[in-house]
Structure 1
Amino acid sequence: MPTTPPAAAPSSEKAAPPPVPPAAPPLSVPVPVPVPEADSIPRAVVVPPRPAGPPRGAAGAVPARGLLGRSRELKALRADIERAGLDTLSGRKSPRSRVLLIAGRPGCGRTALAEELLRTLSDGYPDGVFRARLSGPGGVPVPTGDVARGLLTALGATAPAGSDDDEPAEALRAALTARRAVLLLDDAPGAEYVDPLLPDAPDCLVVVVSEGPLTGIPDVRPCTLGGLDGAAAVALLARFAGPVRITVDPRSADAVVEECGGQPAALVLAGGWLAARPKASVSDLRTALRTVEPPDELPVGERPLRRAFLLAHDALPPSVARLLRLLSLAPPGLVDAHTASALAGSTLETAGTSLADLAALGLLHQEPDEPEPPAVRPGSGGADGGPRYRLPGCLATAAAELLRVYERPAEIQLARARMLERTVRLLQSCRGSGEPAGSPARERADSLPYALRFPSRAAAAAWLRRRRAALLDAARLAVSDGELDTLDRRLIATLVRTLMAHEGPEAAAGDLYALHELVLEVAERRGLGREKAAALLNLADLDGGAGRTEAALARYRAALEAARSAGDTVATGRALESLGGTYSELGDWQRAADWYGRALELRLSRGESADAARLHGRIGAAHGRAGRWPEALKEWRAAARTSRRLGDLAGQARATAEVARVQERAGRPEEALRTSLEALHTARGADDMGLEAGLQLRIADLLDGLGDPAAARLHRAAGEQLLQDHPK
């Protein structure tokens, strides 16, 4: 008989796994059929595995599809949508979308009911259905800004990188204003996480799945779920066990329903146990359930589901049971064959079979894949990992508790390290697929084993898109754990490069900001000065690009301090130049010239003449914008001299042309003309036709101002001919 898990063993000893009941046959390949109603169950469904004996893949009867026992609740929810709200009754048009609440304990089928409702409503909301989970594994709330960014991505919109929670939430509401769409907000921890996401669009509908009420949100229509009624619960068991065993022992079936509290998730697990044992009776299932004792401290309402979970876990073969426990380490409960293989240290084939078996028993839910073109459909390459599964949130906590009981901390850390290492290698392969042929990254990707390679760039991009949220969660959880910081840094660095390769800096800016913040956290924790300076510089660049200039200044100053403390002259120079550039954007030309001057001193001390010439020009431009003509002329002439020493004729010509521009603005047109002719001569030596054409046109303007229109026409015609002969 199944037994309860042993008391927690000391960390230095491994607890022995529970015995496998001799009556349990080996797991086999499952046959796809509908999955009964359970919390967070997707529409794709499977049945328990067939017992040993019939050949693999043998056809079997397919149980009836459909949601069981929720017709009354479904009808009430549809009626609530049509019912007038408080604003309508008072004669005002509703300023916000209608909000429906489906409340109940995890495992009561609340998400399945929400999905069924959305399926029946899809025709009435042509702009689509958008889903988001507001809680992660273990019930940890997801920041509102992250939820809003994910929904904005699904809508084809973007939020500024690094913005706080309010800004992306506001952008989400604005994006939904003119739409007729549905939002499904699953696993909402409370009203404060829902309210910022509610669109100001009366034509939109928001369906919230939560355990409790949404206090503070007006005009919410709640639908509270309990257990299934007796007939629906028995029918759910019959889907797994077949009608014969239920018909011959209806009293035991009623007793099993009572032991499971009528909870769909518990009934699914109990039914899976029964279906895997074709010779067991419903009475045997009832006895087995009563033998399992969940922890005493568990609330009464959670005991039926925990009892069914322990029964299912104890009946698994030891290797599959261990994999189930290890899956609680996967963020955010999302796994495929690669993740399972790395966690358990098994082959991909074994891991894929075990995942399918767990899904057949109701312990995992298969995730529906987004439609893809044939060239990039899941399974088209070894690195894809095949079907994706999710460990339901109502089971994740129990699996994590068993993991701590059965596995030593060192084994848990080793499993996590294997998972991170596999993720890094998959990201390296994905990045290589996005690089040009012959590049070092592409060559490294081509040298990986087939199981880690993608067949095409499109397939790699599709993999990255489907697993993007899970990869970001993996990075966050790895950093928060703090035990594997070396692997964390490799994971983040590789993910940054992969996003840049496939999406570019602008499209990936939001994710890059979050990743650089994680790098900063690790660097501060480990006292890594160079990494801290680099992370601060990258964050400041993103702040500046998003228009948060003051935040960028603060980051650049912190980066400068960190770089100087670490003796990183490269980062120091970059920080100094960035400070100068930021003050230029603010129009503070004196401070801009001062910071550029400090950067110039550093470049000169390091003998970096090319950078010194560029900084002379930036200082000259800052002085020119401030109207300090002597200082501007001095810096541009220094830039021209430095370029001449370097043999950079084009750079010399441009700097000389800027000298002429300053002279013209200072009211010295004759000198400006002579200097422009000198710059034109240098540009001809550099064979830079675009620069030569621009100088010809500028000389023409100067000649017009000096009263020589004939010469001006000649230079203008020459410039226009150059532009015609050498278009950009």
Structure 2
Amino acid sequence: MSGLRFRILGPLEIEGAAGPGVSYTPGAAKVRGVLGALLVNANGTVSVDSLIDELWQDDPPRTATTTLQVYVSQLRKIFRRAAPEDGAAVLLTQPRGYRIRIDADQLDLTTFESLYQRGREALESGDHAAAAELQGRALALWRGPLLGDTPHGPLLDAAAVRLVEARNAALEQRILADLRLGRHRDLIPELRSLVEEFPLREELHGQLMLALYRAGRQAEALRAYGALRRTLVNELAIEPGAPVQLLHQRILAGDQRLAVPEPTGPAAAVRGPATEPPVVLGLPPADPAFTGRDGELAEIDRLLRAAPPGAFVALAGQPGVGKTALAVAAAHHSADAFPHGQLFLDLRPEPGRRLEPAAAISALLRRAGAPVPVGADPADLQEALQQLLAGRRLLLVLDNVSSEAQLRPLLPTSAGSSAIVTGRRLPAGLDGVHPLVLDVLDPSAALAVFEAAAGPARAAEHPAAVAELLELCGGLPLAIRVGTAQLNARPHWSAESLATRLRDRRSRLSELRIGGLDVRERLLSAYQDAGRNERRTFRLLSLLPAHFEPWAVSAVLGLDPHDRRTPVGTARLLDALADDHLLAADHEGSRPGRYRLPELLRLLAAERLAEEEGEDTVRAATRRLCDAYVRVTEEADAVLNPRQPGVRMVRTPGSDAPSDWFARELGPLTQVVRQAYLAGLWEQTVRLATALTGHLESHARWRAWERTHTLALDAARQLGDRSGEARLLASLGDLAWQHRRTAEARDRYEGARRVAEAAGDQVARSRALVGLADLWLDGGEVAEATALLTAALDGLPPGLPRERYHVLRATALAALLADGPSAARSRFTDCLEIAQSLRDRRLEAHARRALRRLHDPDDDPGGCLEIRPGVWRLRSPAPLTPALV
């Protein structure tokens, strides 16, 4: 988003796409106050309550919330006017408040903070010229007090205090860098002005004293100290601090070491420690409650002990999966293999900030007690680190690696030392990497983590509630940690009460936060780091069922299924999301190329979809998804249950055969039926459920059959689809009949008959009549059944062999019961010919079984009749038994 620029280090300014000459700054003070509060917390959510407190403090009007919404609306209008292309996407409504979403270069505050941090790192690494330049650029961004034209409330007051300190620190660091560069004479006028402006800042007085002394003005340096001491004694009744007193004593003594700036540049670099440093104990404390990763601990220990030179272990996984905790635990576990010690370094100490390699090496050297080369270039620093590691057995734990470029200079290259690194992506391009991808915890490991954190008594108190709680946490260690922390902090809560709070999917992420632990924020950071196309894909994945294949992703993205580039483009997006662990490959015994979105990530994707996409976009994507499932399912059904001869195999996307695809995809298919129904896509609901009928019946999937067809029946009525209604009523009649709910089955069949006749749908009428005939045959009433079947056959239009098969099948059974095997043989022979013409192996097997039994009655020792293909019925009353064929 490059259309808008915000400046708050001084009076508020908004610059739009038109450039610097046009200002869009709001005139109303409170509107500026809302924007200021959001900008000092850019890319973070500011709650409604905080904004109301900022605007009205202790005296908000009764209409405060509504008024705040008006101010937000005014800001959005300004943004749209200033940047027509992307202004609308800047100010977002969040579940708890509002958020300004901008890039770092769109706000002078974030630019200042970035320059300040880089300058500090340059100063620490000895690059004084870079430090002076960076801090100078940072200070140049200030045009006056923070939001000087905007009334301040608690939020802005706190930010102003923090930023004044940051600005002063940047100033002092720039002056220190200039002093080390020998610019003391140029600094004297500036420092005299600064000590007048800030008479109590001892650091500035000390820098003035040093600059004067180096300029050969010792007496003035001593007078500067006297002025500082008088001010402190008179105003605060205190003496100057120890650093300034020591400087005063050295100036009094004429210490010549003060007269020369500190050496800089590569020539001053200390290329390695002169003596072996002591044992380094630089790990965070071991967590006594750590558990659930015994297998991973053993594997890391094995890899570290057998690691050749340059080898290291890389841990990756989704946010909150416990990479850092495992790395620290593994380092403690394997400590005996590294007698010279262990070092821990977070390469991303703050959100949005990563350590550059030079700063990271400097930090490692300092923590190891080794000298840091002054003014060294990156190659010098890398050499110093490798000399520190050479001949020793040190273990580095490098947390939150951002890239291979950041990691490469930090890795040990000599024998003995090694590293454990963590990051969202595996550094697969580096030599020596031993990758270990962490998954969420299985139920037993999750329970062990719960017991370790909350205590065995909590786990034993309500075992079922604990199991549900762990499932709602998705087995994610961070979520479990949050849950146990909540229970420990609130002893009156039970696992059942916490599980109740988490059952609502809409608020689950909001509940999973306590103190500094926030599941949503951790997941959101990974989402925000992804690219624009990947973020859009991630949002739309929330519309897909629990398990899905790439063709479904292409559909929801609106990609042309006939374009040869579509599969490749979709695969790249999915690979990128999987590499960032915002998506998981589905390993539940299925073939490769299937994916799933872990539940907590799915909740985040749904939130982002609702927040960042309009209703029309979501509805269009849902329609595309349902249309794709309808098309693929109807094609698969046409192969498995052919209506006409000559149907050939259709390769269903992601499947070797439609039968395999149906068996694997039934769960997702039922979800999409419900999704289509809830979206009001009545036609897609009816068609998809209808295409599922054959598989549901032949595989006795009773529950899915009832769920999908009940929804589809209502959808058909909403749509006014009388034929669809009749066919669905007949199908639900079949389901009721197979469950021995005879009265319900009769009502369904009769309803189907009436609706079909009113609609003029002879196929649906035939199905209803066959169903009623089966009821009569099941009760031994052959004459009534025969009359219905004759009517069904007479009304059936030509060219419908599959429907004719089912009428002839029931007619043959009626003839068998009325007149014996010879009367039924010709009709079952006709059935066999129809099945062979359709190449329907299931119907063919049914017809052959029937003919075989007619030739050999003794083949039926149990007295069973196969009333329908795969459905057997004892002549004595008993439940029906499905036989899967």
| TM, length-normalised to structure 1 | 0.40
The answer to which structure, 1 or 2, has the higher relative contact order (CA under 8 A, 6+ apart) is: 1
